[in-house]
A and B are shown apart, each in its own frame.
Chain A
Amino acid sequence: MRSVLKYVLVVLIAASFLTPNAMAQGNLPQSRQASFVESYSPTEWMIQAAGIGTGSKKEQEVNAINDAKKSALYFCLYMGTDPILTAPEEKSRFALQEQNFFDLNNVNKYIAWEAQDFTLRAKMADGKSLKIEKVFRVNVGLLKEDLVTLGVIVAGTDLAAELGLPQILVLPEVPKGGNPLEALDNQSELKQAARSIESYLTARRYEVIVPEQQDFLNNYGSTMKLIKGAGDDVSLQVAQSIGSDVYVTYTVSIATGMQGSTETRKASVTVRAFETTTGRLLGTETGYSYDRPAPPEVVTEEAIKDAIDKVLSRVMAYWKDDLQKGIQYKVIFNITGTFDQDQLEDLQFAVADAVKSCSNRSKENVATDQTLDYLLWAKADKYQQARDLYRDIKTAFSGKYANAKIKQQQLNRKLIMLEITN
């Protein structure tokens, strides 16, 4: 009996050493070498992935290809500059389901296409293993949907239900003092870039604002007269005037070259995303096209595709984070009435209290005798629209300070401009 117990003990000790390693690998890829090739469509990424296969000679290739598929998926989830799983809690939630997720039958669901040819093939470890590399197209759209179903990440559609997907304004970046709208009209590659970005965003069901509509232009002109403090950043001014959540600016640069008598073009674009209310930079990425004998529009679109997806994932990361605080508004109080110093201070306290009472969180940006500039995060379920918030601020203010009135000057999704008069 004692010897049997000894034997069991030895087995258990041995197992305690072996199991963690075995479990750590399990269904996970052995190679984990992959790189991003291109964003083929809003839901598909081209990934070049390496796989290592062991086993008999016949099994090596199959195992290596399967490992490469897993590496491609692993890359989408964890690696690169903008993986799907970014937050630690997402990673920890996924860790519980990782082994099942990397089961080959499940992995195959996400491989939309794979190249027949290898880009690399080499034997390793004296021929005991085979390393291959090939290109896969991974359906990241489906991957994200499944991760949402599994509760690993929060769905974009859930966000939309609660907060709405961010409304995004797309504008070309212009030199200081320049007018992005004029630039759009005058440079075809800028227009093409805007179209590409808009196409990409609408495919992902974002609300995109086209800054060409006449009513917008009218609105812009009147709003600009009221906004102070936005400086020379016309894009920020435009975004605030229209009330987008985020605005995206971009630059397009096309270098030309000659191969024989053929002109070739290589586009490089910089895409930057900003928070509208503050002008805070959310993400920036540079994208490049191949040098091609192609029209400027084609290389521009290719370069935009290279950059936009990465920027967008950072916008979404910001959006998810902001969701926790509520809906963000910029509220500007213009004090036009005549108040003495004491009245002015009381008035400012009353404004601060009113803002506080209507928001989860607020931040005072500017406080002068003429202007009070606030950033506040209001409850999404309580305030379906800016007007509701305005009404509550007005009510709260009148309850705290009777000698002044608040009037609406300008109201849009993100910007509430109010006038305080006697």
Chain B
Amino acid sequence: MRFRCHRGILSGLILFLILAVSYNTPYAQDTQAKYQRKSISYVDAVLKLGGAQLNADQDAFLLNAINNEMSMSRFDYNPLPDAILADFKQQILARGVTDLDALAQMMNEVLAPEIMRFVDLEKEMRAQNLVSEVERNSFIVKKAKESGITAEDLKAIMNSAYIYMPVLSEAKKYESASANTVNYDLKGGILWFSIKTDTIGSSVQLLAKKDAAGSGFAKLSATNIRYAGKSLSGEEYAFYTAAEALAKNLKVATQEIQEFRLTNPITNTGAGWVEFGMGKKEGLGVDDKYIVAEFIEKPDGSMLQKKLGMVRISRVADNRDKPANSRARVLIGGRYERGQLALEHPRLPIDLSFRLVYLPFTVKNATYESNGQTLNWFDDDIKTNFYGGQLWFNYNLARSTNISQFYFALFGEAGYGQLKGWKMYGEDVPGGLNWGVGGGLVKKFYANRFHLGLEALGEYTAYSFSGSGMDNGTSHDYSWSIDNFIMVFNANMEIALSYDLNLGVGAGYRLAGETKSWTYKSDGAEQDVSNWDLPKAQFGGLGFQVYLTWSLPSLSYDPLKMARGAMGN
């Protein structure tokens, strides 16, 4: 693939991205909106559309994966008795429901009464969360020792019940005996229904339909991949990981639904940080991103929402028993003020990064004996560089380690370089391919838009070149290749161009031992070079990189799990 980088286009793109950070949205909502907890129920069945078929085990795993991802702390749960669910599933099968209106109608008939019965029992307790500060300080609460709950609060709770149902529209398996691979592509989504109640009764309405995809990959012949507490075949592993990828994408898609999006006004601000009144109760996690917005009152009295920038959670407060503020560091923008709104910006905990790299490679001169003569391989040491690209997947470990901006990185690289000075059959050897895969730990330190990223990585890297030459009128093909395990220590500077895109530059030292593990092939046949006095090669030295990193809203596969599937164990 060729990249043509035009300065004008690039600067225009950057300008657009920066401007995109602070765009205005017309809004007609509460300027101090706070997330109000919703209660959810689910149907433990996957609705198959378009002929998608799964076996019982797959069906159960997919359902479990989706339910796990939907078990978000921001929700209260309204359990449905097994008998009611069984009845509902039976009716789906009996009626063959495939259109959404009919499904909503069935939910209203079978599920809604049971859900509303449970919500009714819980409503006073849940409504406590809706009592405002002013209401808590009202006469009726202070004097009459009342809870401060109003009928409006109860009504809000009664109308905050939702049901979701997973949908599968496509499940395709691809097997290749020759390549010994199997992969699963799943396409599906989630249907969210809201239950509205009034004096007449309840009605179930479709709230949102979110689509997502998931893919999994494994070695077809694999028989014992330990995963999810089981020993899986390659096919099973491919399906399981596809189901999990689909479920993770559905989680982000659900978080993006307006009704479920965490929102709260900023309560405190300081140098480079803000605080707002959410925490473990809502399921906040370190490194979660929040857009900061405020409202502009126009001369006609209408309100316009303006997005100002972004913050990232650095400390999650435990607000389960009493109110507490979580802290977020400013990522984009600054000088935020109390009362501005923090709006959730849900993203997968995986960043995708593409890097252009400039890597060192040295081949040291050596001598060899030929016909009793000691000859030099080259005139001098060959110092060259590889020009390549790297694809990185950074898994954010912040939620599990509580360390902000701490990643496990997985990357692969491919590049090009020529060993100028190495001659075969009297000709300069052509340029060759450098490739590698690696992984390691990354920690980023940031000050506003700027990040300092430190990376400690291990990498398996290789270089090979091949060519042909004429010897005594006969053409010969040849190839040389060499590989090594190396350590890489990078230091990068990044700037956040937008909410989801960072631009970075960096330098790294590649710590590598010298190696002579060359493989030489002549006319397709590997030659034994163990007795050869080969030149030493070294992948070490100073390298440089420039890159873009995206925070992903969805990714249809998990690279780490795919890599494991490819290994087959």
Give me the interface of A with B, judged by CB distance under 8 Å: 37-41, 46, 48, 57, 60-61, 113, 115-124, 127, 130-132, 135, 137, 257-262, 264, 266, 289-294, 298, 301-302, 305
Q: Give complex CA distance A183, B350 in Å.
A: 72
**Beyond the given A122-B303, A259-B151, could you list 11 further A-B residue pairs with CB under 8 A, ordered by the A residue number?**
A41-B139, A118-B265, A122-B31, A132-B339, A260-B154, A260-B158, A264-B154, A292-B151, A293-B149, A293-B154, A301-B140
Q: Is B514 an interface residue (CB 8 A)?
A: no
Question: Contacts A121-B32, A122-B294, A266-B151 given: A61-B158 contact, CB under 8 Å?
Answer: no
Chain B 12-44, CB within 8 Å of chain A: the 1/0 string?
000000000000000000011000000000000
Give me the interface of B with A, judged by CB distance under 8 Å: 31-32, 116, 119-120, 123-124, 132-134, 137-140, 142-144, 146, 149-152, 154-155, 158, 197, 199, 265, 267, 294-297, 303, 306, 335, 337-340
The reply to whether B339 and A290 form a contact with Cβ atoms under 8 Å apart is no
27 contacts between A and B (CB under 8 A): A37-B138, A57-B335, A57-B337, A61-B337, A113-B137, A115-B133, A115-B134, A117-B32, A117-B134, A117-B265, A118-B31, A118-B338, A120-B32, A121-B294, A122-B295, A122-B303, A123-B295, A124-B297, A260-B154, A261-B120, A262-B154, A289-B140, A290-B150, A292-B146, A293-B154, A298-B146, A305-B139
Question: Contacts A260-B120, A262-B123, A291-B150 given: A121-B340 contact, CB under 8 Å?
Answer: yes
The reply to whether A260 and B123 form a contact with Cβ atoms under 8 Å apart is yes
Closest-CB distance, B116 to chain A (whole angstroms): 7
> Which chain B residues border A258 with CB–CB below 8 Å?
199
Closest-CB distance, B297 to chain A (whole angstroms): 4
The reply to whether B296 and A46 form a contact with Cβ atoms under 8 Å apart is no
The reply to whether A121 and B31 form a contact with Cβ atoms under 8 Å apart is yes
> Which chain A residues border B138 with CB–CB below 8 Å?
37-38, 40, 46
Closest-CB distance, B121 to chain A (whole angstroms): 8
The reply to whether A40 and B151 form a contact with Cβ atoms under 8 Å apart is no
Closest-CB distance, B34 to chain A (whole angstroms): 9
Determine the residue in chain B with the shortest Cβ distance to A298. Answer: B144
Closest-CB distance, B135 to chain A (whole angstroms): 9
The reply to whether B297 and A301 form a contact with Cβ atoms under 8 Å apart is no
Determine the residue in chain B with the shortest Cβ distance to A292. Answer: B150
> Which chain B residues border A115 with CB–CB below 8 Å?
133-134, 137
> Which chain A residues border B338 with CB–CB below 8 Å?
61, 118
Among A41, A258, A293, A302, max chain B CB count under 10 A is at A293
Question: Contacts A120-B31, A121-B339, A293-B124 given: A301-B144 contact, CB under 8 Å?
Answer: yes
Closest-CB distance, B151 to chain A (whole angstroms): 4
Question: Contacts A115-B133, A294-B146, A302-B139 given: A121-B154 contact, CB under 8 Å?
Answer: no
The reply to whether A118 and B339 form a contact with Cβ atoms under 8 Å apart is yes
Q: Give complex CA distance A290, B151 in Å.
A: 8
Determine the residue in chain B with the shortest Cβ distance to A294. Answer: B146
The reply to whether A119 and B297 form a contact with Cβ atoms under 8 Å apart is no
Determine the residue in chain A with the shortest Cβ distance to B32. Answer: A118
Determine the residue in chain B with the shortest Cβ distance to A301. Answer: B144
Closest-CB distance, A268 to chain B (whole angstroms): 14
The reply to whether B151 and A260 form a contact with Cβ atoms under 8 Å apart is no
The reply to whether A116 and B140 form a contact with Cβ atoms under 8 Å apart is no
> Which chain A residues border B158 with CB–CB below 8 Å?
259-260
Determine the residue in chain A with the shortest Cβ distance to B132. Answer: A117
Q: Give complex CA distance A171, B445 in Å.
A: 73
> Which chain B residues border A60 with CB–CB below 8 Å?
337
Q: Give complex CA distance A132, B295 in Å.
A: 11
| List of 5 A-B pairs having minimum Cβ-Cβ separation, nearest first | A260-B120, A291-B151, A121-B339, A259-B154, A122-B297
> Which chain A residues border B267 with CB–CB below 8 Å?
116
Determine the residue in chain B with the shortest Cβ distance to A127. Answer: B296
> Which chain A residues border B142 with CB–CB below 8 Å?
40
The reply to whether B151 and A264 form a contact with Cβ atoms under 8 Å apart is yes
Closest-CB distance, B489 to chain A (whole angstroms): 41
Closest-CB distance, B308 to chain A (whole angstroms): 10
Among B116, B132, B143, B265, max chain A CB count under 10 A is at B143
Q: Give complex CA distance A48, B565 in Å.
A: 62
The reply to whether A260 and B116 form a contact with Cβ atoms under 8 Å apart is yes
> Which chain B residues border A38 with CB–CB below 8 Å?
138-139
Determine the residue in chain B with the shortest Cβ distance to A119. Answer: B32
The reply to whether B134 and A298 form a contact with Cβ atoms under 8 Å apart is no
The reply to whether A122 and B139 form a contact with Cβ atoms under 8 Å apart is no
> Which chain A residues border B124 with CB–CB below 8 Å?
262, 293
Closest-CB distance, A112 to chain B (whole angstroms): 10
Closest-CB distance, B11 to chain A (whole angstroms): 27
Q: Which of B137, B151, B199, B297 makes the CB contact (< 8 A) with A293?
A: B151
Determine the residue in chain B with the shortest Cβ distance to A199. Answer: B143
The reply to whether B339 and A61 form a contact with Cβ atoms under 8 Å apart is yes
> Which chain B residues border A39 with CB–CB below 8 Å?
139
Determine the residue in chain A with the shortest Cβ distance to B295. Answer: A122
The reply to whether A46 and B297 form a contact with Cβ atoms under 8 Å apart is no
Q: Give complex CA distance A290, B131 in Å.
A: 13
Q: Give complex CA distance A260, B161 in Å.
A: 13
Q: Give complex CA distance A262, B121 in Å.
A: 9
Determine the residue in chain A with the shortest Cβ distance to B151. Answer: A291
Closest-CB distance, A185 to chain B (whole angstroms): 24
> Which chain A residues border B31 with CB–CB below 8 Å?
118, 120-122
Q: Which of A46, A259, A298 makes the CB contact (< 8 A) with B155?
A: A259
Q: Give complex CA distance A124, B152 in Å.
A: 31
> Which chain A residues border B197 with CB–CB below 8 Å?
260
Q: Give complex CA distance A257, B198 in Å.
A: 11
Q: Give complex CA distance A305, B139 in Å.
A: 9
Among A122, A258, A262, max chain B CB count under 10 A is at A122
The reply to whether A40 and B139 form a contact with Cβ atoms under 8 Å apart is yes
Closest-CB distance, A45 to chain B (whole angstroms): 11
Q: Which of A123, A135, A301 makes the CB contact (< 8 A) with B134?
A: A135
Q: Give complex CA distance A255, B150 in Å.
A: 14
Determine the residue in chain B with the shortest Cβ distance to A305. Answer: B139
Q: Give complex CA distance A117, B277 in Å.
A: 11
Determine the residue in chain A with the shortest Cβ distance to B136. Answer: A115
> Which chain B residues border A113 with CB–CB below 8 Å?
137
> Which chain A residues border B154 with CB–CB below 8 Å?
259-260, 262, 264, 293
Closest-CB distance, B543 to chain A (whole angstroms): 43
The reply to whether B133 and A259 form a contact with Cβ atoms under 8 Å apart is no
Q: Give complex CA distance A40, B141 in Å.
A: 10
> Which chain B residues border A266 with CB–CB below 8 Å?
151
> Which chain A residues border B123 with CB–CB below 8 Å?
259-260, 262
Q: Which of A48, A61, A261, A291 makes the CB contact (< 8 A) with B152?
A: A291
Q: Give complex CA distance A40, B134 in Å.
A: 11
Q: Give complex CA distance A291, B120 in Å.
A: 17
